Amino acid sequence: MNINSALRSALGRIEEGDHAGRRRRGIVQGFVTGLGSRGVGFLVSFLSVPLTIGYLGKERYGVWILLSSLLAWVRLADLGVSPGLRTAIASALGSGRPDLVRILLSTAFVLLCTIAAVLGLVAAVAWPWINWVALFGITTEEARAEVGPAIATSFGFFLLAFPLSITAVTYDALQEGKLQNYWGMAGNIASLVALIVVTHTHGGLVRLVMAMSGTSLIVNILSSVWLFARYKPLLAPRPQAVQMSSVRRLLNSGGTFFLIQIVALVIFQTGNFIVAKFTGSASVPSYSLTYTLFSYSYLPQVILFNYLWVAYADAIARRDIGWVARALKRNLSFSLGFTLAAVVPLILIARPFIRLWTRGAVVPPFDLVYWMAAWSMINAFCSPIACLLAAADHMKAQLVYSALAAAVSIALSIMLIQSWGVSGVIAGTVIAYIIFVCFPCAIDALLLLRKLRNAL
């Protein structure tokens, strides 16, 4: 598909029954608006880092980063319901069963509300036994006093927003990702305003958490109300639409996603905690900001992921396997080409950019920059393949080799950080991924495509 045909698909009228055209339109519109949303997000991030690190200081800013990593782990508690729901809705629509969508959404919403209630109860019981100061490697009195209340506040807002994750999934599954991106832009702008207000009123870490988390929750609520009350009221969750068969379906499908998410978080999120444990929270910004900067090198693939996921699921349900193979090939070429073109200049500008970004507070070491560049290329290769495997619900082999990579990654990261410093954490991840993921996932994708063709 060339650029002209992609634009015609995005802007022109799609004829009834042109499922390939509808998939292309969803992908292109989602990608273009996603770039806009991420562009706003990048601007907000660029402006917020110097504000936040200057306001909190390096150690409390490290705590702020660790809070985000901690909540990423807690999100695992959805048991894979959200990604399972995305595939289930797309497959239901592709199979001509739109009647199943409300049942699936209602069931998922009730499941997530139940999980949120259980999480709140478990947190209340476990809270007195957790030493957050030791876990986060905190040394200053100011950070010691704020870490507990900040975590409690952040977790409370998280639980309130937890069931609303079905909203973003619904936009994606309906191939209306552009609408979610519009809400994302609004949320980023609102967060920046909240950040500016708090930093200028010297509210402290707890008020910063309240402002940022509260703003995100409000935007989530508004988006959900608009989607289910005005745009697609027939899809609004209803208690009477919940079915036990759908509960089993979502949990069975979500189980593999849940385990895959655990493995992914071990690889993507433990780095900050390993850095904090062995070198202190003050070293976390160097690792985290370099990681963040290089993540923009494969940003287009991140944006495309959910839209391609839904398109693959739709095409597989309609037995359009030729489209699936062509889309994977093009996605791989685009992902690798773009990331390579972005990584080369990033290697040259990363250190001076981060120094400028943080007003001289953080300057990453040279070797950390090079290892992050290698990690970007690995993501550019593996992410397009993982997208297809997820859409086809073909992840058992991926779970095995990813789990091996996660275990080896942690072991190598702990070993290497003691001799290489913070660079050893990402170096351990890169080595583990090359050995245990890159080659196996490519073979896995080829076997999947052969299986799909043989099933025709």
Amino acid occupying residue 49: V
Q: pLDDT tens, position by position, for the chain (456 residues)?
A: 444 554 454 445 555 556 677 777 777 777 788 777 777 777 777 777 776 766 666 677 777 677 776 776 677 667 778 777 887 887 777 666 777 888 888 998 988 898 889 888 988 888 878 777 776 667 677 777 777 788 888 888 888 988 888 898 888 777 787 888 888 888 888 888 887 887 777 667 777 778 878 888 899 999 999 999 988 888 888 888 888 877 777 777 666 777 777 777 676 667 877 887 888 777 788 888 898 899 889 888 888 887 888 888 888 888 889 999 999 999 999 999 999 999 999 999 999 999 988 878 888 899 999 999 999 999 999 999 998 998 888 888 888 888 898 889 999 999 999 889 889 999 999 999 999 999 898 999 999 999 988 877
Residue-level pLDDT at 3: 46
Q: What is the pLDDT of residues 138-167, one digit of tens each?
A: 767 777 777 778 888 888 888 898 888 889
120 token code pair: 């709140």
**Whole-angstrom Cα distance, residue 86 to residue 97?**
15
Residue-level pLDDT at 1: 45
Check if the beta carbon of residue 9 is closer than 8 Å to that of residue 28: yes
Q: Which domain holds residue 183?
A: 3-454
Residue-level pLDDT at 318: 83
- Structural domain count of the chain: 1
Q: Classify residue 236 by burial, with Cβ atoms within 10 Å: 0-12, 13-18, 19+.
A: middle
365 token code pair: 């070491």
